[in-house]
Chains A and B, each alone.
Chain A
Amino acid sequence: MEEKKLKVGFYGITGCAGCLLSVIFNEYELLDIVQLVDLKAFPFIKQVNIDDEFDYLFMEGLVADRNDLEELKRLRKNCRFLVALGACSCTGCVPAYRNYTLKENYEHLLYRKQAGVEDLKPTPIDEHVKVDYYIPGCPPDKKEIVAFIKSVAMGKQPRPYESPVCVECRMNGNQCLLDLGKPCLGPITAGGCNSVCTNGGFECWGCRGPTKDMNLGLMVKILKEKGFDDKFIQDRMRTFVGLKLPMLEEIFNVKINIP
């Protein structure tokens, strides 16, 4: 008996298209994935997009306006499993950092708004609909996307990577950037990225989101000891995953006093 292929779709709401490109930039493996599943929709590269009853729907982008929300809700109804693809979708990424900037920083840009489409609070998709799986990162690791598709196509359950970036960073033999006085967020950030930023000499900004068992208070204390001020630490931590770190407010209001 021939096995039925999974019906898959790739969609994007407000974002940079980098996550969808990460799918395409798998180069030859892209052709393998296409063989493995029944690709129903991918408007970025397909003209014919059949938008019904997906098994897995991959969604790039965050909710930034009314159009995004309507599209997201409509597609959620059409799929069995919704996969948040990339940081915008998983955490709100850089666009959701707007929640932590002063209105005076961006209100002069408001006059550019399209009439009739209301801005919404920039938020990851799980603030609006149920999300079944997360492929985090800005951008997501392109190989992780392939691995995800291969495992669900074989009926296996994909598992998130939960250790901090430091684990892979050490295995890659990098010098600790915190030790060099750089504001690296590796210790509180979920890895699975093969520490790609620190391999390139760049400190981790936390794009894959916090680990479940992070010690945020200690991370803040270390950064303070390295001479970074409160505003810098908060801005840096909130750039990619602000909405996933509500405890920061408490830490900075209570005036940090951790032994």
Chain B
Amino acid sequence: MSRLISLNHITKIEGHAKLVLGIKRGKVMRCELSAVEGSRYFEGLVRGRRYNEAHEITSRICGICSCAHVIAAISAVENALGYSPTEQTNDLRKLLTLGERIRSHATHLYFLALPDYLGYESALAMASRHKADLESALRMMKAGNNVIRTIGGRDLHPVSAAVGGWLKYPKKESLAILKKEIVEAKKDALKTCKLFFSLKYPKFDSGAEYFSLVDSKEYAVLEGKFTSQHTSFEKWQYKDFVNEYHEPRSTANFVVKGDHKYMVGALSRLNNNHAHLSRDAKKMLNLSRLKLPSTNPFHNNIAQAIETVHCMDKCIEILESLDIKNEPVEKLKAKESGGVGCIEVPRGTLWHEYSINAEGIITNANIITPTAQNLLSIQEDIRAFVQSAFDPWRGKAHQEL
């Protein structure tokens, strides 16, 4: 008996992906996960543009992580031109990144993941019986959105971050309102932890290496070395470690380190950074009884829930210490140069690299998204997971297919 299963439009994901599974006599013979989005060639679009235009263009790569692309692009350009941002600029960039992580995790956990665990077709369908949960999700999304709008000027594709500084500073009063709102939303984040700890996750071990930035000072956001259970390297060394290869049927790039598949994202960050979690996030980690490092991709939801608490605590901490001064944007002198920007964004580590000529024009660009890095691991995890359902000690699935 052989069967070909083709899911042409996977729902409840951001973007468009397709899965093809070929199964013959209880063996998974074929498993292909591919992004089926049309190609947009962003790395080509920024060639010939000025160095301070890259972030506005590349922001359009991804709606839910547009802040991420803005900051990664700006960091790469500043790295090329030899500029280090001020502490205040760094704090504002962190807020933007953390706010984005809060709303992205809330959206993923409640709108994309939870309905599958509770047996609903969508979060909206849960409204009648799980109204309180849905409201928690919306409050957290709102808090994240408000961080981004207050700091960056707009919910999506923020406008105030710039190469060399910040274009318009938020008012003190709005920062105080923001803080209050996050303090409120944190109750929801704690509830979210308990909810997601109570769900049943399949036992599964992905053979992947779990990579994220690791910073000696804090739970990684903008700085650190790219690190896994086995190895660690500096941002600028990425070309020696991260290889790119191309599958003929996919528009996204698969990236492997050496010959290993690897994962980036919340679980990787938690594995590598948990010592730097906020006090309440640490409490939640203990409550979850999660054994770290975990290589079970289903635990990513638990990691996202814990991270949401941490990100809120971190936002509150920054907002409490932030005393906005009107620093003008530093005008950077163009020179022939190259730079790498690498930051932690909701779904993992994001890389931007640019070459700039003496006139300040971008001559080359390379962008590696978390999804491109994760796609191979996700595909191989699906293959192994489906196969496990056919293994005799796992029950009757093989008879049904």
Query: Interface residues, chain A, CB within 8 Å of chain B?
Result: 12-22, 24-25, 27-28, 30-31, 34, 39, 42-49, 62-65, 67-68, 93-95, 97-98, 101-102, 105-109, 111-117, 119-120, 122, 138-139, 142, 196-197, 199-202, 205, 232, 235-236, 239
Contacts and interface: CB of A to CB of B under 8 A. Distances in A.
11 contacts: A43-B12, A47-B12, A49-B11, A62-B38, A64-B37, A95-B40, A101-B48, A114-B39, A114-B248, A115-B249, A117-B38
A18 B65 CA distance: 9
A43 B11 contact: yes
A109 B157 contact: no
A114 B124 contact: no
A44 B44 contact: no
Nearest to A232: B50
B127 interface: yes
Interface string B31-71: 00010111111111101111001001100111110100000
A231 B38 CA distance: 28
Interface of B: 9, 11-16, 34, 36-45, 47-50, 53, 56-57, 60-64, 66, 103, 107, 111-112, 115, 121-124, 127, 134-135, 138-139, 141-142, 145, 152-160, 162, 167-168, 246, 248-251, 253
A46 B38 contact: no
A111 to B, nearest CB: 6
Pairs A-B, 10 closest by C-beta atoms: A18-B63, A200-B153, A106-B44, A64-B38, A201-B167, A201-B168, A14-B38, A202-B159, A200-B159, A65-B38
Contact of A39 (B64, B124, B153, B154): B124
Contacts of B157: 18, 138-139
B138 A28 contact: yes
A235 to B, nearest CB: 6
Given A98-B45, A139-B155, 9 more contacts: A15-B63, A21-B107, A21-B156, A31-B138, A44-B12, A97-B45, A105-B45, A106-B45, A201-B160
B111 A17 contact: no
A14 B60 contact: no
Contacts of B43: 106, 109
A114 B250 contact: yes
Contacts of B250: 114
Contacts, number: 200
A16 B124 contact: no
A17 B41 contact: no
B370 to A, nearest CB: 14
B45 A19 contact: no
A200 B167 contact: yes
B155 A25 contact: yes
Given A46-B122, A46-B124, A239-B57, A112 B12 contact: no
Contacts of B42: 94
Given A45-B112, A112-B253, A239-B57, A119 B123 contact: no
Nearest to B50: A232
A106 B122 contact: no
Contacts of B138: 27-28, 30-31
Contacts of B155: 22, 25, 139, 142
A14 B40 contact: yes
A108 B244 CA distance: 14
Contacts of B45: 94-95, 97-98, 101, 105-106
B108 to A, nearest CB: 11
A46 B126 CA distance: 11
B48 A102 contact: yes
A129 to B, nearest CB: 16
B40 A114 contact: no
B133 to A, nearest CB: 13
A114 B162 CA distance: 35
A65 B49 contact: no
Contacts of A34: 124, 127
Contact of A31 (B64, B122, B127, B156): B127
Given A17-B62, A94-B60, A200 B44 contact: no
A197 B154 contact: yes
A112 B37 contact: no
Contact of A46 (B12, B16, B57): B12
A15 B60 CA distance: 8
Given A21-B63, A94-B57, A109 B12 contact: no
B71 to A, nearest CB: 15
Contacts of A108: 44
Contacts of A139: 63, 154-157
Contacts of B103: 25
A44 B49 CA distance: 33
A34 B128 CA distance: 13
Given A25-B141, A102-B48, A202-B160, A16 B66 contact: yes
